[in-house]
Chains A and B, each alone.
Chain A
Amino acid sequence: MWKWLHPYAKAERAYQLCNTLLPYFAVIAVLGILVGWVWGLAFAPADYQQKDSYRIIFIHVPSAIWSMGAYSSMAIAGLVALVWQIRNAQLAVIAIAPVGAAMTVIALLTGAAWGKPMWGAWWVWDARLTSELILLFLYLGVISLYHAFEDKRAGGKAASILALVGVVNLPIIHFSVEWWNTLHQGATITKFDTSAIDSSMFWPLMINILGFAGFLGAVTLIRLKTEILKSEQHRPWVKALAGGK
């Protein structure tokens, strides 16, 4: 496996891999979000209690899930960067961070717009909401720490360490609805056995989650390509690429 994996530590090979993967993620993103939104907004039935306001779930849950998914991927990349000293993994950390931050902002915004009609408040200092806000600050911390260093390798190292330390926040977000008394409702889809959600709402939600995953992957790949090019900009292969286009 290592023999197969190792060439991707080379920047040019990693760049080619990004190019190969990008179209798949882009197609999943466009199709998933398009189908998911139309289905969720127009064809899924209204909730018996929350009526049409619940339709926010079709973007709130996917963005919240991937705000944490992106953070775990970023932390794994950070671990790889620190343990094996692989420069591309550092670049992956800084490529994911803005996308994860955007996911977190979407989750917070849609949560606020859902909370106002249902709870009567845009924001409450509730465990789930507060820990998600901390997640946003962690993302912003990783981004600014990376850019604070003149030496980008040192910056990448520092950002990776912060990304790893911040992992402690993930279980806090996930279990916050169980550990503390909270306004936020409990898990909806992770308990299949009790089926907290009807299949007429479950499938459009799943498609949206898939679409958001595609979006996260596609934009991360584009940003990773840029980061690879930036760190290799004095190499002949990048010059050839820039000259050719």
Chain B
Amino acid sequence: MQFESLSEFFAMGGYAFYVWLSFGSCALIIIALVVSSIQEKRKLLQQVSAQSAREQRIEKAKLAKQQESQS
């Protein structure tokens, strides 16, 4: 450890603002990109499953109508 105490570590030898601004914004961008990428994929899969469920419902309704007209 290069620093004597925790408060000295956060002070970064007087450059606290610039160092933590850099690391903070970097962490923020990294996390935001990971989260949005994962969410995008999850949303797409939800859409696909909703769409195929809808198609199945339509198919079922068609089949029921057909049977009704035959009987």
Contact = CB atoms under 8 A, between A and B. Distances in A.
Contacts, number: 105
Given A42-B2, A106-B26, A239-B48, A99 B18 contact: no
- SS class of chain B's interface: helix, strand, loop or mixed? helix
Interface string B18-48: 1101110110011001100110110011111
A51 B15 contact: yes
Contacts of A46: 2, 13
Contacts of A37: 23
Contacts of A109: 22, 25-26
Sorting the interface of chain A by its residue count into under 10, 10 to 19, 20 to 34 or 35 or more gives 35 or more
Interface stretch (A68-76, A148-156, A159-167, A217-225): A217-225
Interface string A208-243: 000000010011001101100110010000110111
25 contacts: A33-B30, A42-B9, A43-B1, A46-B2, A52-B14, A52-B15, A53-B12, A53-B13, A56-B22, A59-B23, A59-B26, A63-B26, A106-B25, A113-B25, A117-B18, A219-B37, A226-B37, A229-B41, A229-B44, A233-B47, A239-B48, A242-B46, A243-B49, A243-B52, A245-B49
Given A109-B26, A117-B18, 10 more contacts: A55-B19, A59-B26, A105-B29, A106-B29, A110-B22, A113-B22, A219-B33, A226-B44, A241-B48, A243-B49
